[in-house]
Structure 1
Amino acid sequence: MNRDHTIEFAGLPVVSFPLDPDAPLPVAAEDGRPVAWRLECDVRWGAQFGHTLPELFDLFLRRVDAAGVQAVVFGVWSTEMDCGGHPVQVLVEAADRLAGLRRVFIADVGSEDIEVSWIANPPVTPLLESFPRLEELWVRGGPEDKDVPILAPIKHESLRTLVFQSGSLPSETIRSIGQCSFPALERLEIYFGDPDYGGTGSADDIRSLLTGQGLSELRYLGLKNAMTQDAIATALAHAPIVAQLHTLDLSLGTLGDEGAAALLAGQPLGHLRKLDLHHHFLSQEMGDRLCHALPGVEIDLSERIAAEDRYVAVAE
């Protein structure tokens, strides 16, 4: 993943909550401007303020106007990101105090912090159940138990953006996402990952999702970072959901000429505003065919990789 941390989330500037309980709050927060709060534990050996995440979150709730918190971004919470509490836990326990929370980013970390394949997340279903007015949820990493979907089938009326960034999403999780009902969802991104790291999802796992049932407002669909990108493109070629999209994102994976040819042979794509294919394995000739066939569509063909062995952009 990108080594840089998010500096803006959901249109709000990200400001760090100080670990030192005597340090002043950031100026932007003191001025009453809407911000996205970044919460991150100092996990270095001998750290002066070595809070666990529950301890840090308790301090956070005591120092800020909890009811006015709109967005929270969680960075590192333990050395292995699998102990010392979890963002889902602390948020659910404080749900009655966070009436204004609308946006959450779990594990905004880069490879300098920890590899994405090492981030273990429990199911996030309790978070959506506890925050029926949540509008945006980003989750980086994979499930702590591959046999337990990170998101169980659920109906949520308010969610507009849902992003799972992972190099290791198993089939069980991807199938479960497709069984959810999100009548307000406008943007959905799923990073499939590499089977060597647990990313076992395939085109068979998105059959329910591709019908568009329960996703009437979806306009941006990202099915990306997949070793099976050609098969996913082929499944999308005649999928009902494509007709309602303005952006189709098949980037970061192993898309080759076979998948691109399937898209061209399928339903018309001229209604799209953007077709994002960056980090791909297309031949120059196939890239030219796409651009010629879809002159009114912005097509991102950057990062063409001329390699015999295909790989996804986000794995370890």
Structure 2
Amino acid sequence: MKHYFEYQDSKSYKFWQVEIEANTLNVKYGKIGTAGQEKISSFDTPEKAQKEMEKLMSEKTKKGYVEKTDASAKKIARRIGVSYDEAEEGKTLLEKVTAFLETTQATEVESLVIAAWEEPHETSPQEALDLLIANPAKLPQLKELFVGDMDSEECEISWIIQADYTQLFTAFPALERLHIKGSTDLTLSTLPLKHEHLKALTIECGGLPNKIIETIVTAQLPNLEYLQLYIGVEDYGFDGKLDDLRPFMQKDLFPKLTHLGLVDSEIANEIATEIAQASVLEQLETLDLSMGTLSDDGGRALLDSDKIAGLKKLDLHYHYLSNDMIKEFKKMPILVDVTDQQDTEEEWRYPAVTE
């Protein structure tokens, strides 16, 4: 018996497969389109192998993997970045993007990742982004764009200088997924944001400016299914209040939205208390309030809500919940991730993504 699962978010596109034969389990996993890795385990009896398979499948489901009858096709992807050594030699992101656009592969690429550029704490990727915007005909298959895929050793997230994306939405009307890392000098759009095909939007940062929140809540994104916003902290750019986030909690702001993430927040308790009775829960499958300062105050509001039970998944990982409250969440009839408990005795509490 074989079971095949896939997981996709703004960063990942991977599979996990388990097959049982008598008392042997064969597990394969990796990026979609690759052969992946394989792990074979033997058990004393077929019953023990079956039990282990069910346990593993449950774990994957809790992490957001979805079982499918057929494997998805491989995406043609390209990652472009400037390493530290390349930057020292004077190479630039603009040069690399220019060279990429002259290749035949550019016309086939569906997913484009822009990694680090030269001195990202001082310079913007604007010139390279503008070059992409000026050449949509050279990227006819582009469906996904991630700008700023770098780790803390390359640049701390709150130091990443970002760009103005206003013209991107017109240049690429077929774009489905946009992921932006870093919010310093970020402009999502100076015009009313409209896009017919965008399905997923992620902004990952240490602090989300209110001007970005305002741009999103007034946007016309009729096909948006996935919205993941890192709220962050005031010291790194968050200058909004709970009132500014309330529009996200209203049903049909984005009629097809099934995943809402308001994560990495220092006002996680306020958000949880407010959203626990919000109408948006009627349309969501997943609510993500992870990586923030959520404690028992916000946790109690979620547990007492009669709307939370309609979700498929509630993600609260990285939190300050007590042991007793964690036990209560584990009893809920939906999937709840309450892993990565922080020290509840700490006087100072911080979201996961801060410096």
TM-score by length of 2: 0.74
- The answer for the alignment partner of 1:259 in structure 2 is 298
CA distance 1:301–1:151, change in 2 (3 Å): farther
- Write the mapping of 1:9-24 to structure 2, written as runs, cut at 5 A: none
Q: Deviations over 1:95-126 (max 9, x none)?
A: 23211111001111001111001112123232
Structure-2 separation of matches of 1:150 and 1:280: 33
Q: Is the counterpart of residue 80 in structure 1 residue 141 in structure 2?
A: no
Residues 1:204 and 1:171: Cα distance change in structure 2 (over 3 Å): same
Displacement after TM superposition at 1:129 (Å): 2.2
Alignment of 1:286 with 2:325, yes or no, is: yes
Higher relative contact order (CA 8 A, sep 6+): 1
Query: What is the CA deviation profile of residues 191-239 of structure 1, one whole-angstrom value per residue up to 9, with x for unaligned ones?
Result: 0111111123332111222213341111111100000001111121121
Change (3 A) 1:298 1:9: closer
1:198-237 alignment, distance < 5 Å: 198-237=237-276
Contact 2:148 2:182 in 1 (8 A): yes
RMSD between aligned alpha carbons? 2.4
- Matched residue, 1:28: none
CA distance 1:46–1:104, change in 2 (3 Å)? closer
Q: Which of 60, 64, 77 pairs up with 2:104? A: 64
- CA shift, 1:176, in A, is 2.2
Change over 3 Å in CA distance of 1:45–1:169 after alignment to 2: same
- Which structure has the larger Rg? 2
Q: Does 1:136 align with 2:149?
A: no
C-alpha deviation, 1:304, in angstroms? 0.8
The equivalent position to 2:340 in structure 1, one of 303, 306, 309, is: 303
Structure 1 letter corresponding to 2:116: V
The one of 284, 287, 301 aligned to 1:248? 287
| Deviations 1:31-84, CA, capped at 9 Å, x for gaps | xx7421000123437755x43222111111112333222111011111234426
* Matched residue type, 2:111: A
Q: 1:119 aligns with which of 160, 167, 179?
A: 160
1:275 CA displacement: 0.6
Query: Match for 2:338: what amino acid?
Result: L
Range that drifts further, 96-105 or 195-204:
195-204
Q: Secondary structure at the match of 2:167?
A: helix
Question: How many residues end up aligned between the 2 structures?
Answer: 288
Structure 1 residues 114, 154: closer, same or farther in 2, change over 3 A? same
Following the alignment from structure 1 to structure 2, what is the Cα–Cα distance between the partners of residues 315 and 105?
21
1:183 aligns with 2:222: yes
One-letter amino acid matched to 2:109: V
**Cα shift at 1:168:** 1.8
Equivalent position SS for 1:142: coil
Deviations 1:230-263 (A, max 9, x none): 1111121121111111111000000011111122
- Counterpart of 1:154 in structure 2 is 193
Deviation at 1:182, TM superposition (A): 1.5
Residue matched to 2:92 = 52
Question: How high is the sequence identity, in percent, across the aligned residues?
Answer: 33
